[in-house]
Amino acid sequence: MCSNQTCEDLRDVLCTIVKIQKQGQCFDEGITSCDRPFLGINNNSLYNTRPITLYTCPTNTLWTMPYTLNGTELTSTVFRVEAVEGCCATFRVLAPGTEEGTFVTTDSFFTINLNCVGAIQCLNDTYIACM
């Protein structure tokens, strides 16, 4: 089992991501990590999502979730954090878009205890339609 420190660290990063996704605020451009407080390459971007992947704790296996899109059942490893409460976070499953590196929303959501997450990886910020 992972420690409570994992929950606290992940919660802080995920809360930052939720905040910037909702508010679209721009701040200091010197930060390049997952909790960089703006979306996109610079503050003039039209991005609204910082997609992430999750790794399980303690094995660091890539987290996958099922979704249905256009009647087809598939799985994805890419998610959009929607809300964080305590040591739990709710994610929307993202499906691959028609162009490489793009995503579309699905109607699939899940909530996970952050103590079950060993790590997150942020992907390139993007614009997601139909949210």
Residue 74 has phi, psi (to 5 degrees) of: -140, 180
Band of pLDDT at residue 28, cut at 50, 70 and 90: very low
Domain that holds residue 61: 4-122
Beta strands in the chain (DSSP E): 52-56, 65-69, 72-76, 78-85, 88-96, 103-113, 117-122
Residue 43 domain-assigned? Answer: yes
Residue 110 domain-assigned? Answer: yes
Section 28-37 average pLDDT:
54
Residue 44 domain-assigned? Answer: yes
**Residue 31: is its pLDDT beyond 60?**
no
| pTM: predicted TM-score of the whole model, two decimal places | 0.82
More confident residue, 100 or 41: 100
What share of the chain in percent tops pLDDT 70? 77
Report the number of distinct structural domains present in the chain.
1
